[in-house]
Amino acid sequence: MTFVQVIDYETTRFDEMNALIDRWAEQSSGRRTATHTMIGQDREARNHYVDMVEFASYEEAMKNSQLPETDRMFQEMVALCEGMPTFMNLDVVRDEHLNKQLCNRVFQEAAMAGDMSVLDECFAVNYIDHDVSKEEATVVGREGMRSDMEMWRAAFDMTFEPTAQVAEGDMVTTVWNWRGTHKGEFMGVAPTGKTYEMSGTTTFRCQDGEITEGWWHYNPGALQRQMGGTGSPYGT
């Protein structure tokens, strides 16, 4: 279970505190178990800060606390604070990234299940699509996405298996494995009934609960050659 430690403190010496955290990260490299850190500054009380440090589990957090670098950092941190910092230890019982959920609907509900109405719910009207496999690399409008999705679904019964997914800011990148059983003509190749695979990545930008821009990197030309066609590496 993911574990988060919250450290609440006041300081007038945040630049020094920031430098202290940088030193700890450098000195504990290869040994620390923290996976994510975030610092918030109180807008109403500018000397008030909250640090949030994430670990894979409580046990991993305890390993981190036992590092000599962590003990030294704590002693120096106290010296920089106005009063003693307070700590809150949290087991994470719900962890949802709404932008990930939004992007996953495109793969699961539209591409795999065939519900094209999901595209209207997920993509902005002026969605911008970048696809390295196309001569016209940039397309504006969600209808282009609908046309592509319907073309692929007419040619294949397909699944997307995410192998990694990273969300940062308003961007979500999904690394996926695709598998499709060839049931309709694709890039001039008649249906073979065989199942093919390829991998690729998709990065979506999400704003105001909609996907506003996307980048697709994959190689349909190589897929066409698997099926006995003569596609170029980029399907042209």
pTM of this structure: 0.79
Just give the CATH number of 3-91: 3.30.70.100
pLDDT of 231? 55
Just give the CATH number of 98-226: 3.10.450.50
Strand partners, 49: 9, 41
Question: For the chain, what are the domain ranges?
Answer: 3-91, 98-226
pLDDT of 233? 44
Q: Residue 206's closest CA among 149, 132, 122, 145?
A: 122
pLDDT band at 234 (very low <50, low <70, confident <90, very high): very low
pLDDT of 137? 67
pLDDT of 236? 40
Cα 129 to Cα 140: distance, rounded to the nearest angstrom: 6
